[in-house]
Homo-oligomer: A and B are copies of this chain.
Amino acid sequence: MTQPAGPAEPDTDAVIALTGRFADRDRWQAEGWCRIEHALELIGTRSAMILMRELYYGGRRFDELARRTGLTEAVAAKRLKQLVADGLLQRRPYQEPGKRTRYEYVLTDLGRELFPVLVALMQWGERLGRDGGVELVHAGCGSPLGVVVKCAKGHEVALPDTAARLVTDGNGTDLP
């Protein structure tokens, strides 16, 4: 009667195994230390993410970006300015013949490296089962794109039994 659901479902343990100084969860906290939080400070808004999407699709010019994301020009201007300041985009002058100089927004290396995040989000969004939608496929073979979790040595980390260990960066700073 207690824990009726106990053995019925496979015990969904933590995906990330904690070892070493991280084993005792009462003695550390990820808040403020987490790289996810750092990332979200830059691209944590819907407008930032869908502007990046539009840039991956090849959008460059201001009014086109605003129109195709459905954002108002005010929001688009503010967010683009922030993305440039944060180094994801570069504002670059261009000039069509017989036109005045204008500016376009192009991805920097940092911006281009966000691609796996977008792909991962798309892949997960597909799981939600809403119909319609746009899907990315590999240009070479035509089959859909996704992301795979791997370690630096190339070992693929399977999802159901993903295990990991936490480390700080090299400089031995103490945990908060």
Contact = CB atoms under 8 A, between A and B. Distances in A.
A119 B164 CA distance: 11
A38 B133 contact: yes
Contact of A36 (B50, B93, B147): B50
Contacts of A57: 14, 16, 18, 25, 30
A116 B123 contact: yes
B34 A53 contact: yes
A143 B154 CA distance: 9
Interface in A1-51: 2-5, 12-19, 25, 29-40, 42, 44, 46, 49-50
Interface string A101-124: 100001100101111111111111
Contact of A164 (B14, B59, B136, B167): B136
| Copies of this chain | 2
Contacts of A18: 57-58
Nearest to A143: B152
Given A12-B106, A46-B40, A30 B124 contact: no
A1 to B, nearest CB: 9
A133 B68 contact: no
Centre residue among A70, A110, A119, A135 by max chain B CB count within 10 A: A119
Given A35-B133, A35-B135, A30 B53 contact: yes
B69 A131 contact: no
Contacts of A167: 134-135, 137
Interface of A: 2-5, 12-19, 25, 29-40, 42, 44, 46, 49-50, 53-59, 64, 68-70, 92-95, 97, 101, 106-107, 110, 112-128, 130-153, 155, 157, 159-160, 162-169, 171, 173
